Structures are given as C-alpha cells and as structure tokens.
Amino acid sequence: MEFKGRDIISLKDFSREEINFVLEISQSMESVAKTGSDLLRSKILATLFFESSTRTRLSFESAMHRLGGSSIGFAEAEIASVKKGENLADTMRVVESYADVIVVRHPLEGAARLAAEFASVPVINGGSGAEEHPTQALLDLYTIAKEKGSIDGLNVALVGDLRYGRTVHSLAYALSLCKVKLFFISPEILRMRREVSEVIKEKIKVIEKSSLEEVISDIDVLYVTRIQKERFPDAAEYAKVKGSYRVDLELLEKAKEDMIVLHPLPRVDEIAPEVDETIHARYFQQVWNGIVVRMALLALILGKIE
Ligand code: NCD
C-alpha cells in the first residue's frame, strides 16, 4: 500500500483496506507515543490554519514532536500574509520550501484540494469548510475499533448537524465501506447533504430520523455533533435548531449498556456534563487516539513506514 507522498484530502479516496492499514499502524504507535521516537527526525510539519482549532492543530504538532520532527505554522489567517492579499496557491508554493508535509484548515470547501494541487509536498486536509475532515474520521474509526473490537456489525448513529458538520461527512464515507447499519439523526433542515447521502445509500442501509429517542435502544455507537452555528447563513435559521439534541442521563437509561458516546469536540450543550462520568463516554479518549492516528499518517506519508 502506497502512502508515501500522498495527499489526504477526502475519505472518498480511501479503500477499506487502506483504512484498515492506517488503523493498524496507529495501533503500533500507542507505545511509541508514550516513549517518543526519532523516526521523523529533521522532518518539518507546517500547520496552516485559516480557521480556529484546538485539537486538530495541536494534535498534529504533538504527533510530529513525538516522532522527533518539528513543526511551524500559524493558527489564524489574521497574522499570515493572506491578510495582505496573498492567495492560497502562492501561500502553498512558498510553504512547500519550508516543510516536508503541510496540514491546511480552511473555511472554504475545495480549499484543501486546491492547496494540494499547488504544493509539491503532501497536503493533509485539516478541515475544509463544511465539506470534510478526513483525519478526524480516521481517529473516530480507530476509537470505534479499539472500543468495540471491530467496526463491522455495529449500529452507528450520527446525530446533530449532518448538513454543516464536516466530520460526519468523512465518517459516513468511511462507514459506508464497513458492514454497519447507519442512522442519520438530525432536524429536518440539517439532514445529511444529498451529495453525501447518495454515495452512502448506494453501499449500505441508512435510516434517517429526527427523533433520537425512537432509535436510542438499538444503537452501539452514538456519534454526537455540535450544531455548526458559524456556518449558518442567518441567525434565525440557527435559532430554530439550536439545542435540538441533548444527550443526558435520562436518555442514556434507554441505551444499551455497552453503547459508546463519541463527539469530535468542541461540545456546546449537546452532551450534558453528567454524561462524562458514565460508562458510555469516550469523547476524551478520542483525543488521545487523535495523536496516534496522526503519528501513523505522518510516518506513512513521509515514507518512514511502508
Ligand atoms: C470539529 C471540526 O473542526 O470540524 N472539530 C475537530 O476538529 N475536532 C468539530 C466541530 O467544530 O464541531
């Protein structure tokens, strides 16, 4: 399997075998993450974040440092030359001289693909508008496999903002390659985008509902998302769906005992803090898993693991 020099832009570009391979390498990074390594010594990662981030940027940097590499970058477009009018293509042609691999987060859909076309070094999509967030989906899958033993055979519910949430788009593409039953749970106006759901429905069974209560007792993996306020065209639309779902102890009483709750974070009010202490919560474990998955991706893309 060839990952060296590869751009990671969309989960649509992955086969099930490739996903499994990334998850396997991620697992082998668990111990390396704790001890540290020199695998990527003298390699430089650039993180270009034109949109806010805590986990994605810091975990890529942490992953790079744990493998002995270093990282440079900016965390807001305000301080970069885009402020002076530089376009993304020129930015990429400049940064390729500074780094061996580049992670880009950008508010516009298609930006990561464009960035990859202009950079001669591999580009990883750290979130492209409401479109996709492939590395988050890989860490979500890794978490599911780690916690449940395997992905196949599960009932997985994606809950919340399926229209503007980019993580659920990438995750749905990946899950469509697995033997799962998928539930899309959202308010009517935040239904899974047609372009995504069409691809998914060709491959696996999907059940779309707006009520979470109706299906909760069937679910093995509950993937909760934040309503993406910043992507709504107007405040009135947001007001209609704000607070649509809240996972709390009362809801969890109806769930399977071994159901796990995931969330890409940040959460606002969709998971009550009381859930954190239950046997269901796995969202803070996802954060650690993000480190090992990103270590695996960096090592693979930079050709240090084959
Ligand atoms: C997500 C994102 O940026 O898309 N966060 C993340 O990377 N873990 C989810 C979100 O912002 O709601």
Chain-wide mean pLDDT for the chain?
A: 96
Q: Are residues 62 and 202 in the same domain?
A: no
Residue 104 belongs to domain with CATH number: 3.40.50.1370
Q: Please give the distance, rounded to the nearest whole angstrom, from the Cα atom of residue 127 to the centre of ligand 1.
A: 8
Q: What does the pLDDT average to over 146-152?
A: 98
Among 78-92, 94-108, 159-173, the minimum mean pLDDT is found in 78-92
Q: Determine the distance separating the centroid of ligand 1 and the alpha carbon of 197, expressed in angstroms.
A: 20
Please determine, for residue 77, whether its predicted confidence score (pLDDT) is greater than 90: no
The single residue listed with the structure tokens 């992955």 is 14
Which residue from 61, 103, 136, 284 has its CB within 8 A of the most atoms of ligand 1, so it is best to mutate?
136
Given 133, 148, 169, 280, the catalytic residue: 133
What 261-266 contacts at long range (C-beta under 8 Å, 24+ apart), as own/partner pairs, is 261/222, 261/224, 262/140, 262/143, 262/144, 262/221, 262/222, 262/223, 262/224, 262/286, 263/223, 263/224, 263/225, 263/226, 264/55, 264/133, 264/136, 264/140, 264/167, 264/225, 265/55, 266/54, 266/226
Is 57 a residue of the active site?
no
Q: What six digits make up the tokens of 243?
A: 């607070």
Residue with tokens 């009381």: 274
Same structural domain, 160 and 35: no
Q: Does residue 3 lie in a domain region?
A: no
55 classed as catalytic: yes
CA of 126 to the centre of ligand 1 (A): 9
222 and 163 share one domain? yes
Q: Are residues 268 and 149 in the same domain?
A: yes
Quick check: is 235 in a domain?
Answer: yes
Are 138 and 283 part of one and the same domain? yes
Q: Is position 1 within any domain? A: no
Q: What percentage of the chain carries pLDDT values higher than 90?
A: 94
Same-domain status, 38 and 165: no
pLDDT for the residue 79: 67
* Same domain flag for 109 and 45: yes
- 37 lies in which domain range? 11-132+290-301
Helix H or strand E segment including 148: helix 134-148
Residues 166 and 75 in one domain: no
Query: Is the same domain home to 25 and 127?
Result: yes
Number of domains present in the structure of the chain:
2
| For range 214-232, the mean pLDDT | 97
pTM of the complete model:
0.97
Confidence of residue 84 (pLDDT cuts 50, 70, 90): confident
